[in-house]
Amino acid sequence: MTAILGVSAFYHDSAAALVVDGRIAAAAQEERFTRIKHDAAFPTRAVAYCLEAAGLSPADVDYVVFYDKPLTKFERLLETYLAYAPAGFKSFRLAIPLWLKDKLHMRRMIREALGLGCRARLVFTDHHESHAASAFFPSPFDRAAILTLDGVGEWSTTTVGVGEGSRIDLLEHIAFPHSLGLLYSAFTYYCGFKVNSGEYKLMGLAPYGRPIYKDAILDRLMDLKPDGSFRLDMDYFQYCQGLTMTNARFDELFGGPPRSPESNLEQRHMDLAASIQWVTEEVVLRIGREAHRKTGANNLVMAGGVALNCVANGRLLREGPFDDIWIQPAAGDAGGALGGALFVWHQLLEKPREPHGRDSQQGSFLGPRFTNEEIGRFLAGQGVDAAPCETEAELCEQVAGHLADDKIVGWFHGRMEFGPRSLGARSIIGDPRSPAMQATMNLKIKFRESFRPFAPAVLRERASDWFEIDPEHESPYMLLVAPVREDRRTPIDAEALRTMQDDPDLRRRVNVVRSEVPAITHVDYSARLQTVDEERNPQFHRLIEAFERLTGCPILVNTSFNVRGEPIVCTPEDAYRCFLATDMDVLVLEDYVIVKDDAARKAGASVRERYLSQFQLD
């Protein structure tokens, strides 16, 4: 047996992943255990979970892989500060202590974390190699072009490569400070959202705007070549030497200072979001075409934080040169832990790889699970009088009935997801046909911004009946956006159209019914698809089938089981607390179905403020 433990840490979304004899045994982000969103600390608890899930001890681990090379990254940091000195001294003074205390002593930290009994060899992979490995090795393809895009690793911000059999080769890269990820983060910051957290909000805001600033971005901020390579004009940015992403020159170009967090969104911010989204899609399309030209591969795999931009991914699949695209579900830094472990197994140990039509990510259900016995004991301890359903059919019919009655359900089943998306293991679900569902979920369940859209979970075999997606394609990890089919859209009169396009109150725009499934149809008719198949996610598939039998609709609203700023729930206790503190109507914990009564609603309302205050707004 060969056990390889992958670790990512000290930037954001620390994680651990365990590969045993080439199979992914477990993977999880540290935030799910510590309840600190995007926790960057060494993933002690995630490591412990991975070993426990495989029945191993630290002494059984043969290799420990860290997902990047700290010394090379430190070299980049020093060179950058020297290039901008003395302007970056304040930032340098804040960054150095963490490097001197932790990051430069990674070998010692890993040894201490795993204890004296661990004799594993330590390996450090290149950051973008880890991303590339996480994209190619679990993919269903024997040969594919590879595209990685993020903020920055050691020096690379973008790489193009090729994977074949059990090897990957990175062919070209774009180097820091020229970064598509940091360019997108600069606009995230400027529009008042948190960097490394709010990028998906900017993507969700973009359909409310018009890309009227795209020429300013292309003419002033960057020099974009036909092959997708680019250079940024660093006179407009501050991230090399300062504590902010942008500077006064950027403010002057786009008409004012950055938006204060939580202040009102103006049409200008929506137009900026639409503009940077347009530019991002253009860059991704150009680099994708270049990757196809260089490699001659028919398929593409992707990873890195920018690969979570599902709108760009959807366009690349529809308009690009590739037959198919596979994207690592944990595309950000968390997935680097998995990529590092797979890199050692296939590339360094030269173990063969035999893709057989489906990916080996196991639906990304790689985290902890809890038995009915454990849940029964937990509920009894809470004084909840409940009995499990006797059959899965009974469970699905009962829950489908609640959903059809417009109830909002917390659904907790099986192993927790690895990656930022809830895929039907730790999800809040609802009826997509309800015109009120989006506003209710945003404001009373998630306590988040009203403009944000929700994703549909649709039966794989019905997806092309409702969305403009080729029946040959799938989106099991909610990483592709596709338009709602025109014959599913609702006619809109002139007044409603004006509201949808121009009303300054985004809540009124959201409330315009645009399709048969308004709760998951964004204002531009797009939807962030999750296709659900019986092989990867059998019980969730059967639940949606039961809902379809009742309503004729093979779709559910699917959003993460948490409130704003909270990591997705991990344990039954996390789920029960979230259920009580929100206006969720029903909680499903494995085979137990708990319907909230009036007493629980009053109790939940009394603790809500305290519960929400635990989590910093993201």
pLDDT of amino acid 599: 87
| Torsions phi, psi for 302 (to 5 deg) | -140, 150
Estimate the crossing angle of helix 598-613 against helix 572-581, to 10 degrees. 100
Report the DSSP pairing between strands 324-327 and 426-430: unpaired
Would you place residue 68 in the very low, low, confident or very high pLDDT band (cuts 50, 70, 90)? very high
In the predicted model, what is the mean pLDDT of residues 459-476? 97
- Put simply, whether the predicted model's pTM sits higher than 0.85 gets the answer yes
Of residues 499 and 405, the one with the higher pLDDT is 405
pLDDT of amino acid 540: 98
pLDDT of amino acid 60: 96
DSSP letter at 151? S
Would you place residue 518 in the very low, low, confident or very high pLDDT band (cuts 50, 70, 90)? very high
Q: To the nearest whole percent, how much of the chain has pLDDT over 70?
A: 100
pLDDT of amino acid 422: 97
pLDDT at residue 98 greater than cutoff 80: no
DSSP string, 273-328: HHHHHHHHHHHHHHHHHHHHHHH--SEEEEESGGGG-HHHHHHHHHHSS-SEEEE-
DSSP string, 453-487: --EEEEEGGGHHHHBS--TT---TTS-EEEEBPGG
pLDDT of amino acid 380: 96
115-119, 127-131, 171-175, 342-346: least confidently modelled range: 115-119
| Whole-angstrom Cα Rg for the chain | 24
In the predicted model, what is the mean pLDDT of residues 252-272? 95
pLDDT at residue 265 greater than cutoff 90: yes
Average pLDDT, the chain: 94
Selection from 440, 485, 434, 444 nearest residue 462 by Cα:
485
pLDDT of amino acid 241: 87
23-27, 81-85, 394-398, 571-575: least confidently modelled range: 81-85
Selection from 243, 259, 149 nearest residue 193 by Cα:
259
DSSP string, 208-272: GS--TTHHHIIIIIEEE-TTS-EEE-GGGB-TTTSSSSB-HHHHHHTTSSPPPTTSPPPHHHHHH
- Residue 491, C-beta contacts closer than 8 angstroms, at least 6 positions apart: none
How is residue 336 written in tokens? 């680097």
pLDDT of amino acid 551: 98
pLDDT of amino acid 300: 98
pLDDT at residue 356 greater than cutoff 90: no
pLDDT of amino acid 609: 86
pLDDT in tens, 413-466: 999 999 999 999 999 999 999 999 988 898 888 888 888 889 999 999 999 999
pLDDT of amino acid 115: 87
In the predicted model, what is the mean pLDDT of residues 218-239? 97
Indicate the SS3 state at residue 123. Answer: strand
First to last CA, the chain: 42
Would you place residue 181 in the very low, low, confident or very high pLDDT band (cuts 50, 70, 90)? very high
Of residues 500 and 48, the one with the higher pLDDT is 48
Would you place residue 100 in the very low, low, confident or very high pLDDT band (cuts 50, 70, 90)? confident
Cα–Cα dist 355/612, whole Å: 44
* CB 408 within 8 Å of CB 441: yes
Cα–Cα dist 190/273, whole Å: 10
Report the DSSP pairing between strands 3-8 and 15-20: antiparallel
Sheet holding 167-175, edge to edge: 167-175, 156-164, 143-149, 299-303, 324-327
DSSP letter at 569? P
pLDDT in tens, 3-55: 999 999 988 899 999 999 999 999 999 999 999 999 999 999 999 999 999 99
In the predicted model, what is the mean pLDDT of residues 464-481? 96
Distance of CA 348 to the CA centre of its chain: 29
Indicate the SS3 state at residue 71. Answer: helix
Cα–Cα dist 287/303, whole Å: 14
* CB 106 within 8 Å of CB 66: yes
Cα–Cα dist 214/221, whole Å: 10
72-76, 182-186, 213-217, 270-274: least confidently modelled range: 72-76
pLDDT of amino acid 488: 98
Would you place residue 618 in the very low, low, confident or very high pLDDT band (cuts 50, 70, 90)? confident
pLDDT in tens, 286-309: 999 999 999 999 999 999 999 999
Report which residue type is found at 339.
Answer: G
pLDDT at residue 82 greater than cutoff 90: no
pLDDT of amino acid 462: 97
Report which residue type is found at 72.
Answer: T
The kind and range of the H/E element at 195 are none
* CB 36 within 8 Å of CB 43: no
- Alpha helices, H only, 357-433: 372-381, 392-404
pLDDT of amino acid 20: 98
pLDDT of amino acid 249: 97
pLDDT in tens, 304-325: 999 999 999 999 999 999 999 9
pLDDT of amino acid 2: 98
pLDDT in tens, 154-177: 999 999 999 999 999 999 999 999
Would you place residue 502 in the very low, low, confident or very high pLDDT band (cuts 50, 70, 90)? confident
pLDDT at residue 91 greater than cutoff 80: no
pLDDT of amino acid 566: 95
pLDDT of amino acid 444: 81
